[in-house]
Structure 1
Amino acid sequence: MTISNGCPEPTRRERVAGHIACHSALIGFIPMHLMWAFGVTLWTNEANFDKWYEDGGGSYLFVLSGMAVLAGIFAMSLIRPWGTVFPRRVPFLAGREVPRWPVVLLAGVLSVFLFLYTLWAIYAAFLSDLNDDPSKEVFDGWIIYYGVPQFLIWSGSLMVAGWSYYRRTAERAARNRSLAAPRTVDS
């Protein structure tokens, strides 16, 4: 089955990946970060957290949470029709095709960034000398056991949803190129 602009619908597996990427941002990331943004000190070293929080950490956490909302919406756009054609409620763009490459590139960059961030967190928690003095850490070491799986799931599902978008919109891009190619008349 195809959607309104000729792109095939995502498969069930691809839809599940998109939903997982969205929920990883909205349910896996935001609640914990909003809790810290409001000053709750779960899984933190309280004395260090309070100083960090007052030095701008609270604002930083609110910004991160807002960005995670955008990441969740973006993940859904990879598997929904409004990710390929602007909906009618978008002024000046309604009904036009969403540019393919910015979406594909953003999906790739975000998924790779999340994966590299996870690798860095593993390195920082277990392999580096950053933790020589745990009393200087803002967050408790136990957070890694929550964060690493959550970020691996988020990055992996975003990769699958992004690849789905790339694959599904390739046919539309090829069709648009063939329509734009100049036609020659044989004599």
Structure 2
Amino acid sequence: MTESAVAAVRPGRLRAAWASAHAPVPGVPRWARAAALTVPLVVLPSSLWRIAGVALHLPIVRHTGGDESGNLPSWLPIELYVVLLSILSELLAFTAVGLVSTWGEVFPKWVPFLRGRRVPTLAAVVPGAIGATVLTCLWTWVFVMLAFGRNIAGDRLTADSPLNADTWQGALVVVSYVPLVAWGPLLAAVTFAYHRRRAHGA
């Protein structure tokens, strides 16, 4: 087989493996699959905003002139931290898709020692429930505080705060992050559907 033929086969095999792993499990309600696929999308705007504004330094962030690295260690540039945080956020969000896909019920072949075995129900339900609770409380608190003109610590926002929605940069931050309010409830709904399906042996 020529090199070009091999190159043509590999993408096809990858697509087939991807489609097989993410095929909806029998018994998954349509609404649950839609909710699971929506989770990575509600996380995406904030990830893109962080990368664009902090990692790429596009003029969409209102800088205050202070030290923006916060408590990061000196060896970790804030640009790298933001990219890694955004990737991690998307990966965590994507785990919701596993709750409606085959890899959420049977360990994939690439998982050492566990490949082919059934995923214990509680191994998915407990982290899903904890994550949904934490995310719901966190982002609800953040936006309640913002509604009262305060940051997450409860301190009043100043006129030059990057979170001040009176400027277009501040409004863009809010618009980018407000979808995160739906992350917890969506994950809770998908986790509930997963538990119900597995409990009934579907």
Deviations, residues 34-78 of structure 1 (Å, cap 9, x unaligned):
223414255532234x62147634444233213212213311111
Structure 1 regions of 5+ residues with no counterpart?
1-6, 174-187
Q: What are the Cα deviations for residues 114-169 of structure 1, in whole angstroms up to 9, with x where unaligned?
A: 2212222123212246235232x344432224422x01222222121111111111
Partner SS, residue 134 of structure 1: coil
* Greater RCO, CA 8 A, separation 6+: 1
Q: By how many angstroms is 1:102 displaced?
A: 2.6
Which residue pairs with 1:13 in the alignment?
A: 31
Distance 2:174 2:41 in 1: 19
Q: How many residues align?
A: 163
Paired residue for 1:164, among 185, 193, 200? 193
How far did 1:108 drift?
A: 1.3
Equivalent of residue 134 in structure 1, options 141, 145, 159: 159
- Aligned residue for 1:176? none
Q: What's the CA shift for 1:112?
A: 1.8
Aligned equivalent of 1:61, options 82, 103, 120: 82
- Bigger mean CA deviation after superposition, 61-70 or 107-116: 61-70
Q: What is the rounded CA distance, in whole Å, between the counterparts of 2:68 and 2:162 in structure 1? A: 7
> Tell me, what secondary structure is at the counterpart of 2:174?
helix
The structure-2 alpha-carbon separation of the partners of 1:108 and 1:80, relative to structure 1 and needing over 3 Å to count, comes to: same
Indicate the SS of the match to 2:185: helix
**8 Å contact from structure 1 (residues 43, 140) kept in 2:** no
When normalised by structure 2's length, the TM-score is: 0.68
- 1:133 is paired with a residue of what secondary structure? coil
**Counterpart-to-counterpart distance in 2, 1:132 and 1:73:** 33
Q: TM-score, normalised by structure 1?
A: 0.73
Q: Which has the higher helix share?
A: 1
Residue 94 of structure 1 pairs with residue 115 of structure 2: yes
Structure 2: unaligned runs, 5 residues or longer: 1-24, 73-77, 166-170
Aligned to 1:52: 68
Contact 1:86 1:96 in 2 (8 A): yes
3-state SS of 2:64 partner? helix
Could you tell me which of 110, 115, 119 is aligned with 2:136? 115
Backbone CA RMSD of aligned residues? 2.6
% identical aligned pairs: 21
